[in-house]
Structure 1
């Protein structure tokens, strides 16, 4: 069986980068789910910071330099895409947006995509829904239902409940992308809704003795 081709695009600016770390975790999880389905996978990762000058040249001239052209070609041939951006000013980074500005909008038409982001505060997590998801909807990609956001507190010890929550989101999103890549329906999202009565009970102050 031919291996599934998974392209990963990460727009982290530092080395090491939490954005790259999240991208790697997602790619590993997708690979695990595809292996469980009997499908080997080939992963190719592009660090957009290494292509920043090429992206700027393409924006000005309309022609991609060879390295950028190869990256876009890899993404076009892939069976699925993981796209991860840091969040600045409550939206995707300029580098991330500039890259997709130079990608022909037909390249991602119908392609399964998993979107993810990192940020300095959990309040930035909404950027995935109000900025990143609409971008890929415009590009006519098939976006996995679960988007993954990682704030600094998500990178804790293995016994930290927040870290466990990140691992669960990564696994659920990876399962959805691998299902889309193999032509299956994504697994249903887990019911994480807490009843209002339970939320209210948690806020009640216990009486003084």
Structure 2
């Protein structure tokens, strides 16, 4: 195992990991919204990155084979995740229709309207671990590609994928503050929550239908 092989495996892991993570999804939508509001970003980014690291490590260790051996568990998780996503989407839609909910969604200097840390972490954990796609993509797909790199190189691939996750969630969470000027207007929050509602409900229906 030489340096070019290591850099190739790590670079491939970085690119593959970003290709799977950088997409419009429930988890990314939530991180973006929290980043714009400036609420608990460090903790949320840490949960997302650590969760991905655990899932990627599980894939490298070969846990993905367990998913193929227990399809019933994936089906159950799919319906639970679908119900959660649709519920979250409906909540986002309600924020558009209720002015008081929209106003309270905007964080003030006194902390008014801020959601609790426990609630935010519980939501991001659910959006991460109740999504069966994360197991199929991160554990099964990344794990398969990692183990195809050859002895010793699979962990370099996994390290690259983990780095991609850290870079993405840090950029999404902490970079969202650049959009705060635009979201100083209530109409902008309606647009964001409308997009989140459509995304969440669409993903939930897609999961329930098995797509």
Q: Normalising by the residue count of structure 1, what TM-score does the alignment of the two structures yield?
A: 0.26
Higher strand share: 1
Q: Greater relative contact order (Cα 8 A, min sep 6): structure 1 or 2?
A: 2
